[in-house]
Copies of this chain bind each other. A is one copy, B any other.
Amino acid sequence: MPQTTRSYHHGDLRVALVDAGLELARVGGVDAVGVREVTRQAGVSPASVYRHFDDHRALVVAVALAAQDRLAEAMVERIGTLVDEASALVDDAASLVDEIGSLLEEEGTSPDGATSSADALTSELAVARLRGVGLGYIDFALAEPGWFELALLTFDPRPGGGPAVMVDSEVPAPFLLLLDALDGCVAAGVLTPQQREHAEWPCWSAVHGFADIATRGPLVGQDPAALAALGRRVVEAIIAGLRA
């Protein structure tokens, strides 16, 4: 922060506006982030927005990008806990394998069984990561529906209703997490390269669709525990569908 004195100039109005928009969107969704409302929240004049953003839409996009960052953070956190749990199981199983191996050492047992079970364990880890992507996305949507609504908007690349060209320069972070997890699955042997191809779209469709249904669709207001269980069901179903 360059200065804390309240002068005519604000110091860093742009981020202040985005923060205000974030706060408003958290409870009111995308409709709550308007030019006048945001400037009111920031204690500034409405027209000041146009010194930092071309348009109302540009302001919304900036807020949406911030919400998207929050989504990505929540996802990596969820992935971390799920992978940690899985790797704890892996460690337990590995020590168990070692124990059994040392017990059976006197006999001439082949180490093939150990390596194949190790493969199964790394597979489990890769699947846990993929699970984390989906569940992190869903949990964020349920926990912060306003931000979630915002985070979607940026995926929409039409600037003003034009011919809608695909964005290829800047892939959103949440989507990258999914791509990486899928690549990890083929590296771990969970998915064949053929199964991997375009697999991001079935995954994203199922997870995003559930989040949308639970957030603005017929499942709105349902019991959170039931929603979480349904979300797990959706994630397991689409993962099973990919491997079939």
- Contact pick for A157, options B212, B220, B238, CB 8 Å: B220
Consensus secondary structure, chain A interface? helix
- Given A164-B221, A166-B218, A208-B213, the answer on whether A202 and B155 have CB atoms closer than 8 Å is no
Across the interface, do A219 and B202 meet the contact criterion of CB distance under 8 Å? no
Least distance between A122 CB and chain B CB atoms (Å): 22
**How long is the Cα–Cα vector from A113 to B6 in the complex, in angstroms?**
86
Inter-chain contacts of A202 with B (CB < 8 A): 206, 210, 233-234, 237-238
Q: Copies per complex?
A: 2
**How long is the Cα–Cα vector from A152 to B213 in the complex, in angstroms?**
10
Q: Does A46 touch B at the CB level, under 8 Å?
A: no
Inter-chain contacts of A213 with B (CB < 8 A): 155, 201, 204-205, 208
10 interchain residue pairs of minimum CB distance: A209-B209, A241-B241, A240-B244, A205-B209, A205-B210, A237-B241, A164-B221, A202-B237, A206-B206, A240-B241
9 A-B residue pairs with Cβ-Cβ distance under 8 Å, sorted by A, are A155-B216, A157-B218, A157-B220, A202-B237, A205-B205, A205-B206, A205-B209, A236-B241, A239-B241
